[in-house]
Amino acid sequence: MIKFHYRKESSIISGMILRPVADIILEYKNRRVEAVMYIDSGADITMIPLEVGKALGLKQNPKDEILEIKGVSGSGVPYILKKANIILNGKKLNIRLAWALIEEVPLLLGRLDIFPKFKITFDEKQELITFHP
């Protein structure tokens, strides 16, 4: 079982709010980036901003297709689909990753290639998220 704790953050709506986050490691070829990602059951795919992708060593190739994903706001985010590894508390998964071509996106741990491998429980009362194999 993998456990993560909610993090308290400020909110304009309620002052403080609990957000589900995961301490992860992203891995691409011989590079690693440690990050905190929002665990987002509404996100179709794991997404990282432009500079995080560059830190991992991702590069835009001429054959890369620029895609667009839309969030709940309806505004589009251009991205390139890449493959990388994500390490959750020592468990390594090969995932598809949306590398945003802009900086203004949060790090999102999305469903594709991750959620189907676990039973995930969001327990706000205990401020705990658990990933059961």
The domain spans of the chain are: 2-132
pLDDT at position 56, please? 98
φ, ψ at 118 (rounded to 5°): -140, 160
The superfamily CATH assigns to domain 2-132 is Acid Proteases (2.40.70.10)
pLDDT at position 71, please? 75
> Can you list the positions of beta strands (E) in 15-115?
15-28, 31-39, 46-48, 66-70, 76-88, 91-100, 108-109
How confident is the prediction along the chain (133 residues), in pLDDT tens digits per residue?
999 999 999 988 888 899 999 999 999 999 999 999 999 999 999 999 999 999 999 999 999 999 999 876 678 999 999 999 999 999 999 999 999 999 999 999 999 999 999 999 999 999 999 999 9
CA distances from 115 to 19, 62, 131 (A): 18, 31, 9
Give the number of other Cβ atoms within 10 Å of residue 57's Cβ. Answer: 12
What is the model's pTM? 0.92
